[in-house]
């Protein structure tokens, strides 16, 4: 069964550095998402992306964050000037065309900011 893949599984970065998290969505999916989950807390929506542009974003997704689909298969989340509070699991999700299609998630990247 096709799945969303994310790399790396664990990223350790010094505070203030930039980090890029990578995702390969399911191949026939057209909608892409990033979520984060701080340890012990809820899964939180960050951003949705469709047709090469952001369709919706949360208050968390400020100028520190950006997303890109650099080619036909990858979807990336860039975090600039990382802070300690950016430490979390970051999940990528994708879904097919259709309002009633569910989002399918990858296994996440654990980001640790030192």
| Residues lying near another protein in the complex (CB under 8 A) | 4, 31, 33, 35, 41-45, 48, 50, 55-56, 58, 91, 93, 99-100, 102-108
- 13 or 50: whose CB is closer to another protein? 50
- 82 or 109: whose CB is closer to another protein? 109
Q: How far is CA 106 from CA 7, 14, 80, 114, in A?
A: 10, 25, 22, 24
User: How far apart are CB 104 and another protein at their closest, in Å?
Assistant: 6
Rounded CA-CA distance 60/90 in Å is 13
- 71 or 100: whose CB is closer to another protein? 100
User: How far apart are CB 31 and another protein at their closest, in Å?
Assistant: 7
DSSP string covering 45-110: EEEEEETTEEEEE-TT--TTEEEE--SSS-EEEEE-S--GGG-EEEEEEEE-SSTTPPPEE---EE
- 17 or 74: whose CB is closer to another protein? 74
User: How far apart are CB 105 and another protein at their closest, in Å?
Assistant: 4
């Amino acid at each position: 069964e096709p799945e969303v893949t994310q790399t790396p599984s664990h990223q350790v970065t010094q505070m203030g550095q930039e980090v890029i998290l990578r995702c390969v969505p399911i191949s026939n999916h057209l909608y892409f998402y990033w979520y984060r989950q701080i340890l012990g807390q809820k899964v939180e929506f960050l951003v949705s992306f469709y047709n090469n542009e952001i369709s919706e974003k949360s208050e968390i997704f400020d100028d520190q964050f950006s997303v890109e689909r650099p080619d036909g298969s990858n979807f990336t989340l860039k975090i600039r000037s990382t802070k300690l509070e950016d430490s979390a699991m970051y999940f990528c999700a994708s879904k097919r065309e259709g309002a009633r299609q569910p989002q399918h998630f990858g296994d996440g990247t654990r980001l640790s900011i030192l």
